[in-house]
Homo-oligomer: A and B are copies of this chain.
Amino acid sequence: MGEFELIQRLTHRLPTNQSVVVGAGDDCAVLDLGAPDRLLLFKTDAVVRGIHFTSDTPPEKIGHKALARGLSDIAAMAGTPTAALITIGLPQKFDSAFVEKIYSGINALARRHGVAVVGGETTTNPERILISVALVGFAARGKVLLRSGAKGGDAIFVTGELGGSLAGKHLEFEPRLAEARWLADHFTVRAMIDLSDGLAGDLRHVLKASGVGAELLQTAIPISRAAKELTCSRPRKSAERPPIHVGGDSPLVAALTEGEDFELLFTVASKDAVPLLDAWKKQFPGLKLTCIGRIVAGHTLTLRDKDGVRPLTAEGYVHFA
């Protein structure tokens, strides 16, 4: 049984109560805890040595990534993070300076985004460092962006460039919190998600939640320089490379499937697409925003190139004809 199937079984009949606005299955859980104008966002995310970082990774970057992943999920709901609890599992003999540097990375990122670190826990995980970050935040009532609002005809946008994150970005990315809040404040964003599993996989989450399909335009997909360079210089150097899916060797496949991009993917009504692009360029001149396709009726995800339209058939993978 794979991870997705297990999660489906585990989340099938979870206990719930009146506070739950959105339970398992979106970027964050959304709770109503009685604040008149706000809903609570609640999220955890863990990183493990050998899976999400290597023994070579500088500790400050481990800390940065551990917190940044969850902040990216808060961003995907157009939320504002408030506070974090840090759980760190350590071997019985640990290097305290190393652990302090992990916290330096966490704290520096937390300060930049106004997040309080309000404690947590150290526990023993004998064989390897594991860091789990729990986050609470909030979003204005009526402005929480879910995965489920995409509609046929919507334009699909992504921020930044995709693929090749393992070359370094996955340890250094800045969560798109300001960008997401600006989007929610100025446009009617229909659906949003952060890209952690790869464009194809994450877009599928949006399509499934919204009950729609999508057509991507191959030439529009913003491929990072790192994806282009990496796919020309395989194999990679570290034996402990995180086991992120890679479905092929082309930069396009890297951009579609590698994951850990931590960019925003969202949809708006087609009439808003051009005004959004214009306003974005003024607001965030240093960050690319690209329309990569459109939402369509049905349930399929397709890719259009110069030869026509072909389906993206598997979860996060591209099967070329």
Contacts and interface: CB of A to CB of B under 8 A. Distances in A.
Contacts of A34: 35-38, 138
A47 to B, nearest CB: 8
A45 B120 CA distance: 8
Given A40-B136, A44-B134, A116 B3 contact: no
A269 interface: no
Nearest to A46: B123
A148 interface: no
Contact of A33 (B111, B115, B136): B136
A48 interface: yes
A100 interface: yes
A44 B132 contact: yes
Contact of A43 (B50, B85, B130): B85
Given A51-B124, A127-B126, A83 B29 contact: yes
A15 B82 CA distance: 11
Given A10-B103, A83-B20, A96-B1, A31 B118 contact: yes
A11 interface: yes
A132 to B, nearest CB: 5
A16 interface: yes
Interface of A: 1, 3, 6-7, 9-11, 13-17, 19-20, 22-25, 29, 31, 33-38, 40, 42-46, 48, 50-51, 82-83, 85, 87, 89, 96, 99-100, 103, 107, 110-111, 114-128, 130, 132, 134, 136, 138
